[in-house]
Amino acid sequence: MSASRPSRGAGLVWPLAIFVLAAIPRIIGLDARPLWLDEVFTLQRVNLPAPALVVDSFTHHHMPSFFLLLAPLAPLGHPEFWLRLPSALFGALAVALVYVIGARVAGRRAGVLAALVLGLSPAALAYSQEARSYTLVMCLVLIALYGIVCLAQDVAGAAAQPLRASPMRFAWACFILGTTAALDVLGDSLPWLIAANLVALALYAQSGRPRGLLINFLKADLFIAVCTAPFYGVMHLYEDHSFAVTLAWIPPLNFTRLWYSFGSVYFMQIADSVTFHLMEVSTPALIVWLLDAGLVLAVGAAAWRLRHRPALLTVLGIAFVFLPALLTLISVWQPVLLPRYILWSAAPFAILAGIGASALLDHLPARAHVPVMGATALLLLTNMAPYYKAETKPRWDVAAQILAGEVQPGDVLLLHDPYDGTLLNVYLPPGKRGTVLADSQGDAAHAQAAMAQGKRVWTVYGVAGQGKDDAQEHASFDARAAGLGTPSLKQAAGKRITITLYDPAAQPKSGH
């Protein structure tokens, strides 16, 4: 297949078809999982009046734009579907944009293969089913990346001045507006701006040092700063604590944490949403390792194929490598490496993989191209399918149903995490919230005192936000509850939450 650019008609039809196909797996099961803590914060924020929404966003180091976008959907009810729907659509749009960039660089086949990699990525799917702004940011960064790719293909045009009359003004507009919008949605996109300027310096050095190119990038940076810096200044005025404090909960970096982030974002592993572990799923290990080896080989083949097009290799290479490298380096001192913080770099990774896979297909007979691409899609689908059955988020909806049916007035709750009550409050029937959560703020000593007074105590073990969820953490909570005596009843809400009843009336009588 030729590496020429797609025709104007195909340039519209193919991205639209890919968008529709990518939207299907993102909408399937969109409301199957309950909200977890970050999404509950979204739910609470979008139900505030607009002025309060803006202040609450800035107070918690968030731009209000995404939440203002979701606010009109809040009255529709069923937040698991409606508040996640924009993320699903943005996730599908990101797949279409990956196709567009891949096709522009190396032809339609490369674009299709790149779209398969991102479209069937478990991590990209998971964040497309979460009521947060990560897929929107990925789309905006991809629009900016498309602009940079176009500039790299015509550096002379990119250096022409003034910008408004430049033959590359559409490319400049994509870069400037995509970057500006990304920064006005989420500060996680700041590394993209840094990476883009590194690309600018590299293009400047590779292309005979055209002074106009640097001048145009400086003008672009100035426009971006004017349109974004004031909002970050307001955020600084309203923040209730420093940004470093918001990252203090992230555990130190080690190999397990590194593989958790890189394995999920780049290598098709299914990650747990609330712990720092990959899920144990039914996919045969051979399939996963075949995919991982194929991705590594494809990215290497892309570098080889683009070796004679250094400008494009520079753009895609820096766009992929800079973000994970930067966050890994920072994590040596202050842990910041999480899958959601490096998610947008999965897009240039997929583009490189698509370009390389297409180059590898050139070494096969033409009649083998379609079967090999079909087999690749089947492997990716087989690897992704267990995501739909995996309990990637704790079943606080089930826990709330159990407690609503069994907690009686006067009962006490001992919660593993103070935020457990926040999640239960979302899923408890309104008429039961007062009964279930009336006495849920105390510690183990309070629970023991309640037992001594003849009150029943329910212990609830479950992780609310991202943190530890392992045997050691569970054992620590059980040790806190050991003074309550012998459990009268133990129930599971899914695989991640344990509810235990301690009833004074059912405790063994002590001997004399």
Run of H or E including 415? strand 412-415
282 & 401 share domain = no
Q: What is the pLDDT of residues 309-342, one digit of tens each?
A: 999 999 999 999 999 999 999 999 889 999 999 9
Q: What residues of the chain score a pLDDT lower than 50?
A: 1-6, 512
Please tell me the distance from the alpha carbon of residue 307 to that of residue 93, in angstroms, as a whole number.
29
Residue linked to tokens 């494009």:
312
Cβ atoms 256, 470 nearer than 8 A: no
Q: Which residues pair with 457 in a beta bridge?
A: 412, 502
Position 13 in a domain: yes
| CB crowding 89-109: b at 16 or more within 10 Å, else e | bbbbbbbbbbbbbbbbbbbbb
Q: What is the pLDDT of residue 476?
A: 86
User: Which of 355, 371, 388 represents a domain boundary (last residue)?
Assistant: 388
Residue after which a domain boundary falls, among 388, 407, 439: 388
Confirm if 399 and 462 have CB atoms less than 8 A apart. yes
Using the 3D structure, point to which of 388, 422, 448 is the last residue of a domain: 388
H or E stretch covering 22: helix 8-27
Residues 355 and 426 in one domain: no
**Are residues 308 and 422 part of one domain?**
no
Number of domains in the chain: 2
- Pair (364, 468) in one structural domain: no
pLDDT at residue 245, as a whole number: 67
Task: Assess whether 272 and 145 both reside in one domain.
Answer: yes
pLDDT of residue 512: 44
Asked whether residue 221 is domain-assigned, the answer is yes
The verdict on 374 and 500 lying in the same domain is no
Is the residue at 150 inside a domain?
Answer: yes
The total of other beta-carbon atoms located within 10 Å of residue 439's CB is 19
User: Is 323 part of any domain?
Assistant: yes
d(Cα 396, Cα 465) in Å, to the nearest integer?
A: 12
Q: Is residue 354 part of a domain?
A: yes
pLDDT of 474? 81
Q: What domain range includes position 36? A: 8-388
Query: What's the pLDDT score for residue 244?
Result: 65
Answer whether 186's CB lies under 8 Å from 155's CB: no
- Conformational region of residue 208, where left means phi above 0, alpha means psi within -120 to 50, and beta covers everything else: left
Same domain, 403 and 335: no
How many angstroms separate the CA atoms of 477 and 479, rounded? Answer: 5
Q: What is the model's pLDDT at position 1?
A: 41
Q: Are residues 180 and 274 in the same domain?
A: yes
Residues 58 and 43: their CA atoms lie apart, in Å, by 16
407 - beta bridge partners? Answer: none
Same domain membership, residue 304 and residue 213: yes
Q: Is residue 476 part of a domain?
A: yes
* Residues 345 and 305 placed together within one structural domain of the fold: yes
Q: Distance (Å, rounded) from C-alpha 403 to C-alpha 424? A: 9
Question: Does 350 lie in the same domain as 461?
Answer: no
The pLDDT of residue 469 is: 60
In a domain, 353, yes or no: yes
Q: In terms of domains, do 470 and 355 share one?
A: no
Give me the CATH number covering residue 431: 3.30.110
Cut 0.85: pTM above it: yes
**Within 10 A of 495 (CB to CB), how many other CB atoms are there?**
10
CA distance 367 to 385: 28
Would residue 3 count as lying in a domain? no
- Helix, strand, or coil (residue 161): coil
